[in-house]
Structure 1
Amino acid sequence: MPQDVAADDVLCAGSFQGSKCIVVASTFNGITQTLAFCQPGMKSWHVCDGLPIAGPKDFAFYQGKLYVLLRFLARLHAFELEEGDHGVVVSRVEHCVIEGLHDHHIQHIGKLSCNIVVWRDNLLLIVRRYDTTGNGFPRPNRELHQVQVFVLDFSTNPCGLTEIHNFDGDCVFVDSCGCNSFPASLYDGAEGDRFYFVDQYSKYDVNSFDPSYDTFVYTVRNGRTRPLATELSPDNFGAPNGNLDVPLLLLTSK
């Protein structure tokens, strides 16, 4: 994010006049990790440098806090935000220790990919675990081993986990830039109790651009997975020079 970009260039003053909406932006430059915040009316970003959150992240605003998840390490931090003289500022950052996450629930060898999403006044942790013990070349074989969905309980310290297998007919869309939960009835073709994954997990391979993607549907009630109807590939989507970068799920209600 360029340092000279003003908040008013990001938020339309007319649409958000009088709003308390907060925009969070994440940047990566070499080894420097930065989070920046703005609200309508702010003339500059509130920038936080030197944070212990290096790597791909997922974000969720929940009960007045911003939760930031390190996706491939399953480390969760809570940011407390307050109004300063020039707009929103970060007043406190807390590492949320999750009870038994690594010792019990995630006990098999393999790589993790995690997300967080707000669903019906709950903050959910979505965990995908992969078996990477194969000898694929140039990158190891990557086979989906398990998907789990947990409700996070912040009333205890460490916060607890409750696994769920019923989504009350709702669905969750997961892409490389975040998650959203919706009633399945809002979208033609969407099915309840399903997670729709369209996620990029690697981009570069031996100094060349070679993205790989997770594209599948997961059913919460029975733990089954199936492929998406459309294969996600650069050629299929007509991307320039055969390259397809970050995939997104674009949602329009009926």
Structure 2
Amino acid sequence: MTDADNSEQDGAVLALDAVCLTRGDRQVLRDVTLHSRARRIGIVGRNGSGKTTLARVISGLVPVDSGTLKVCGVDVVRDRKAALRTVGILFQNPDHQIIFPTVHEELSFGLTQMGQSKTEAARRVAAILSEFGKSHWADAATHSLSHGQKQLVCLMAVIAMAPRVVVLDEPFSGLDIVTRMQLGRYLSQIAAAVVHVSHDPASLQDYDHVVWLDAGQIVQQGPAQDVLAAYVTQMKALGAGDDLSDLAG
């Protein structure tokens, strides 16, 4: 039986072993080991802790230097075709994700890349727009949408491809309270497993498994209540200091 078969059999959503990644002279990820069967996994940490890099690694967008990585039993770096059907990612800035002029075209692209015909893709797009109550958005110009609306379009594009895991990289960044609540409601309805990257512990408090990342290393992982309490305590201690005056970094 292969490692992928083992990972699939034990139900692991994420199976990372000693994952390392260096960029230039900086080690961005250091021996990251994470095995979780949880349906809602949070990754918390300060800016620059390696969270976004880890999200891209999990999504198969960035190859690692060493270690092994499986998502639902799939090696998302080596098997890109299987990766498209296994994991989707919602970036922090929707303008970095949207490439087509209309909502329908944006939602159709990933489906055709997976091999669906234009007719099949059109049916799926119509279904997903209806499911989200946004059928009237089909011909809308993507450039005319608000930040929150663009983020929802990106989410629908990911969901339309029916991945088994959805990776969210700071999805609430730049959104006001009302829009955050609205997008959060849509996110809570996702049937796929979710890996949510955030610096904000409040957005992860209801998650099943939380990983605290700092300087590319896992500081602590486990139940949300325990990990987030330790994280908040550490952040308050750092906030009471004066590291902004330190110019060495």
Per residue, is there more strand in 1 or in 2? 1
Q: Which structure has more RCO (C-alpha within 8 Å, separation ≥ 6)?
A: 2
- Bigger fraction of residues in helix: 2
- Judge same fold: TM > 0.5, yes or no: no
TM-score by length of 2: 0.24
